[in-house]
A and B are shown apart, each in its own frame.
Chain A
Amino acid sequence: MSDVIREAHGLNEGEFLEPRDKWFEQNETLQKLRKNKKFPTIWCPGCGIGVVMGALIRAIDHLGLKNDNVALVAGIGCTARMPVYMDYNTLHTTHGRALAFATGLKIARPDMKIIAIMGDGDALAIGGNHFIHAARRNLGITALVVNNAIYGMTGGQYSPTTPLGGKATTAPYGNIEPPFPVCELAIAAGATYVARSTVFHALELDKFLTEAISKDGFSLVEAVSYCHTTYGRLNKLGTAADMMRALKDNSISKSAFDKLPEEEKIANTRIVRGMLHQNDSRCEYTSRYAQILAQVQNLDVAEARRAGGI
């Protein structure tokens, strides 16, 4: 917040002002934010993570989920700072391990909707192993991976999704590692709903998040939002608005992509947006385990869990 605004409102250093008027109270999106948390958020001006947060809240609201029934589990990084701002059960864990913590929580509370919020480095570098196995098990967790193509929080080191040739603080001569295809990895590992969009296409993110969260099995939504503060500055990509415009110009919908001739598909460098994979026939992990419980105790599924005092 600028000093000018702060002074205009007679606030001291470190104090913030939350909007509290009738509009705010009646706005369903804003009501999902934690009332006892200081705003504005920690992210840089123009950071797409905030856009993703708005989409997430709208999606949860659209599904009519009760706040008590939703848990957000995050790793470490800029993206992982998201949960604290929202009025749900929030767990901020260790770098790369959000899905492992979420696995334990889901098994303890299969009735809750659990969303794991991770950045690209968190989910795919240090967290890659847990990503693969959570998808393989088809645990009822929605993985929300914000792909900003960099390690933002630590100042701009390259990540598994940094474009080839891109500059980063640990790739001063340009990145020589081909980036990870996040969605394709999840599909191969067994995820049963996979979608990708960008923060320019915020309403599309709303839609995919709504669908993903409503699924029983492991769902992934990749939200592309290249970091303008580190990646953008090091590669001279302009302002936040410029880079958001670039997401629009450099992406293509899946339906359009599917219609391309084969050579163009192979040569494609644009971000492919869309619902990329869906498979409702696989059994979700906790419901398959519940069958074991019922079988072992010779009871029906619901009785077996009650017998354990759970």
Chain B
Amino acid sequence: MTVKLMQGNEAIALGAIAAGCRFCAGYPITPSTEVAEVLSRELPRVGGMFIQMEDEIASMAAIIGARVGGLKSITATSGPGFSLMQENIGYAAMTEIPCVIVDVQRLGPSTGQPTSASQGDVMQARWGTHGDHPIIALSPVSVRNAFDLTVRAFDISEKFRTPVILLTDEVIGHMREPIELPDFKSVKTAGQVVLENPEDYKAFRNTASGVPPLAVFGTGYRYHITGMFHDEVGFPTQRLDEIDPWLERVNSKLEKHLDEITLFEEDYQKGAKIAILSYGASARTARHAVKQARAQGRKVNLLTLFTIWPFPEKQVEALGYCVDRIIVPEMNLGQLAFEVERIAGRKKVRHVGLANGEMVTPQMVLEKMEG
């Protein structure tokens, strides 16, 4: 494939196509609209379908309905739309239906500043929907990374029967970088799994892997899906001996497979006592700061997180052991820094953030290295 100058949102849309996504339901919202526009053009070319729904709530519902009917599906939005989608994201988590939700974060709260970036939805991605539930969120740092993480999002969404949030931001979404995409035929994602006989099928069986296979409606498996607490067959239940095993299985199914879900990059220097931990657009800031610091002769560790949720506790804990200070630049008032503090201890963590639409500068990060 040739090198093309491509926008982040376009790379996300093409990543979905490469991953086998064949349905998108969306609603226009800056700065995510290009994802829907590109998919509305590209999906019919591969036999897929796009529909612009009447609002984000309906978009999220439609992509779940489409996956139940067998089509891998995606939606894209930003802060205000992400808030609207929360109830149905919880539905996807409760019913364990795979889907990908792209949140191109913009400055909030409320209408905020549609054309400015932020990383203000970090906590919402984890806890936006009510109740205890697991979730996966990935944050790309570049246009090519956005393509790759979108493919990865579909893969782990299918593998672990969970909604996956592609938690990107206006910087990555709207920037253009020269990238070379792989041949789509070479992209591998989890396919449909082998199923039992319809008579024996239990859509929510408490399997050892923690992830029972999902049957497609209309293929001979007639079963019930509900957002109520349900037994293994799918019927609503109030029995503790059916609710407790479900809680155990679903809330630990990601924990059991963290090695496949936790994506990160360690750029460590032996003897470094300072680290910078970042993600998304702020990871670009961090990279510049590290480069400048090292050019000045300082030893600095750089931990780039691609997986934000489940929070990479193991990696952050290990980092916390070897350094005295972890600097966390992010475009919010400390949403991920809180997690770093939780794992590495408040004393070690220095948050440097802006919530006004501006990117954190390398200079701001370097200043946190002093004092």
Q: Do chains A and B touch in the complex (CB under 8 A)?
A: yes
Q: Is the CB of B53 within 8 A of A100?
A: yes
Tell me the smallest distance from the CB of B13 to a CB of chain A, in Å.
16
- The CA-CA distance from A156 to B365 in the complex, in Å, is 58
Tell me the smallest distance from the CB of B202 to a CB of chain A, in Å.
10
Tell me if B48 counts as interface (CB < 8 A to partner A): yes
Q: Is the CB of A93 within 8 A of B91?
A: yes
Q: In the complex, what residues of A have CB within 8 A of residue B67's CB?
A: 104, 108
Q: Is the CB of B62 within 8 A of A310?
A: no
Q: In the complex, what residues of A have CB within 8 A of residue B228's CB?
A: 92
- The CA-CA distance from A36 to B232 in the complex, in Å, is 12
Q: Is the CB of B225 within 8 A of A91?
A: yes
Q: In the complex, what residues of A have CB within 8 A of residue B58's CB?
A: 97, 100, 103, 129-130, 133
Tell me if B264 counts as interface (CB < 8 A to partner A): no
Tell me the smallest distance from the CB of A7 to a CB of chain B, in Å.
23
One of B162-170, B216-224, B294-302 contacting the partner: B216-224
Tell me if A89 counts as interface (CB < 8 A to partner B): yes
One of B68-76, B118-126, B204-212 contacting the partner: B68-76
- B54-79 vs A, CB cutoff 8 Å, 1 = contact: the mask equals 11011101111111111101000000
Q: Is the CB of B218 within 8 A of A305?
A: no
- The CA-CA distance from A308 to B21 in the complex, in Å, is 10
Considering residues B62, B65, B73, B225, which has the most beta carbons from chain A within 10 angstroms of its beta carbon? Answer: B65
Q: Is the CB of B223 within 8 A of A90?
A: yes
What is the interface of chain A mostly: helix, strand, loop, or mixed?
helix
Task: Give residues 91-126 of A contacting B (CB, 8 Å).
Answer: 91-94, 97, 100-109, 111-112
Q: In the complex, what residues of A have CB within 8 A of residue B223's CB?
A: 89-90
Number of B residues whose C-beta is below 8 Å from A? 46
Q: Is the CB of B62 within 8 A of A100?
A: yes
Q: Given contacts A103-B58, A108-B71, A310-B22, is CB(A97)–CB(B44) below 8 Å?
A: no
Tell me the smallest distance from the CB of A156 to a CB of chain B, in Å.
21
Task: Give residues 275-296 of A contacting B (CB, 8 Å).
Answer: 289, 292-293, 296
What is the interface of chain B mostly: helix, strand, loop, or mixed?
mixed
- The CA-CA distance from A67 to B23 in the complex, in Å, is 25
Tell me if A37 counts as interface (CB < 8 A to partner B): yes
Q: Is the CB of B51 within 8 A of A103?
A: yes
Q: Is the CB of B217 within 8 A of A105?
A: yes
Q: In the complex, what residues of B have CB within 8 A of residue A111's CB?
A: 218
Q: Contact residue range for chain A?
A: 35 or more
Tell me if B45 counts as interface (CB < 8 A to partner A): yes
Task: Give residues 254-307 of A contacting B (CB, 8 Å).
Answer: 289, 292-293, 296-297, 304-307
- When C-beta atoms are compared, the residue in chain B nearest to A71 turns out to be B217
Q: Given contacts A83-B224, A88-B222, is CB(A304)–CB(B54) below 8 Å?
A: no
- The CA-CA distance from A104 to B60 in the complex, in Å, is 9
Tell me if B235 counts as interface (CB < 8 A to partner A): yes
Task: Give residues 208-261 of B contacting A (CB, 8 Å).
Answer: 217-220, 222-228, 233, 235-236
User: B65's contact among A73, A132, A297, A304, by CB below 8 Å, is which?
Assistant: A73
User: A108's contact among B66, B88, B227, by CB below 8 Å, is which?
Assistant: B66
Task: Pull 10 A–B residue pairs with CB atoms less than 8 Å apart, ordered by A.
Answer: A68-B219, A100-B58, A101-B68, A102-B65, A104-B73, A107-B62, A107-B71, A108-B65, A109-B70, A308-B22
A-B interface, 8 closest residue pairs, ranked by CB to CB distance from nearest = A308-B47, A108-B69, A104-B65, A104-B62, A100-B61, A104-B66, A92-B226, A100-B58
